[in-house]
Chains A and B, each alone.
Chain A
Amino acid sequence: MTTRPCFTKAPTDGVTIHCIVVEPAKSAPTVTDWWSAVPTVFVSILALWAVHVLTRSREREKLVYELHGKIEQLLGEATDAAVDGWTEPDAAKRAAAIAKAKWSIQKLANMCLRMKLVTDRRVFRPSWGRSFLLPTKIDMDQQIVMLRKTLTSDPFEDPSRLPALEMRLECELVRGQFLTDFDSKLRNWMSPSRAS
């Protein structure tokens, strides 16, 4: 506690009046002074974090569905172009279809790479003998390699070969397998608890 003179007045009758203001002692705010605000701040930060996580998760799922549609479309384009490349009797049209097939597969692979990066996350999965935070992503690398090998393997680019009509079925089969694997991986990613 500190005191300081407020004013001093000297009346004419010779009586002196001293006025003293008593001020409480000033001290730096301590942790306990802020204690009551801590729960509010904590709940606010938690709420902001939850909103951020949910928004990011929703945006990511939206992007995954968009990529899913694009990948399906590119897969169709690549397979159709490859079927044309295998079955087209006209040399010029066949060359164009072969070039389009290779280009489409490359675009498809790039889109699958984006999908892999976007879906890369860790999920909580309690299970005996396993890590609780397991990495999960939609990785289609092996399926892309298989697709490219089936669609563009020998003698796809040999100009001297005859149209290979039987390759239509091969192309459709590999496309079907790609889609089956892709949908399965997408389902597992959306519901990791059901993943095998």
Chain B
Amino acid sequence: MTDVTYSIAEKFNRHPGPRFSNQGPNSGELLRKRLLKLLEETDGTITVDLDGTSGFGSSFLDEAFGGLIRVDGVPVEVVRTRFRFRSTIDPTYVTEIQESIDKACGH
């Protein structure tokens, strides 16, 4: 099993955008697709590092992480066991992502 760290600032973009790709660049939808690909390519834990960006909007976080369950149909257990979220700058991002995941699976 290979554990990987995915830094959004380094591997995606330092300036996260809106929810959908048709609303602007660096969208939550685009990140969701990249995470889905990463999920298929690896078999270990994926640690998503949220530090180093210019800030996330709620809709971006919801689409990127809640959308994995809601849109792509990834089982919530897979999201919960395979993904770890990390932010030293603003730990409330992690709280909000967990809330999005709970909401997406109907809790």
The A-B contact count (CB < 8 A) is 68
Chain A residues whose CB sits within 8 angstroms of the CB of B56 once the complex forms:
102, 106
How many residues does chain A have at the interface if contact means C-beta atoms less than 8 Å apart? 24
B92:A109 contact, CB within 8 angstroms: yes
B43 an interface residue at 8 Å Cβ cutoff? no
Chain A residues whose CB sits within 8 angstroms of the CB of B23 once the complex forms:
157-160
Determine, out of B1-9, B14-22, B31-39, B67-75, the stretch whose residues face the partner at the interface: B14-22
B96:A149 contact, CB within 8 angstroms: yes
A90 an interface residue at 8 Å Cβ cutoff? no
B57:A159 contact, CB within 8 angstroms: no
With A99-B15, A157-B18 as contacts: A145 and B96 at CB distance below 8 Å:
yes
Chain A residues whose CB sits within 8 angstroms of the CB of B44 once the complex forms:
none
Picked from B15, B89, B92, the residue with its CB within 8 Å of the CB of A148 is B92
Q: Which residues of B contact A (CB under 8 A)?
A: 15-19, 23-24, 53-60, 89-92, 95-96, 99
Q: Which residues of A contact B (CB under 8 A)?
A: 98-99, 102-106, 109-110, 113, 141-142, 144-145, 148-149, 152-154, 156-160
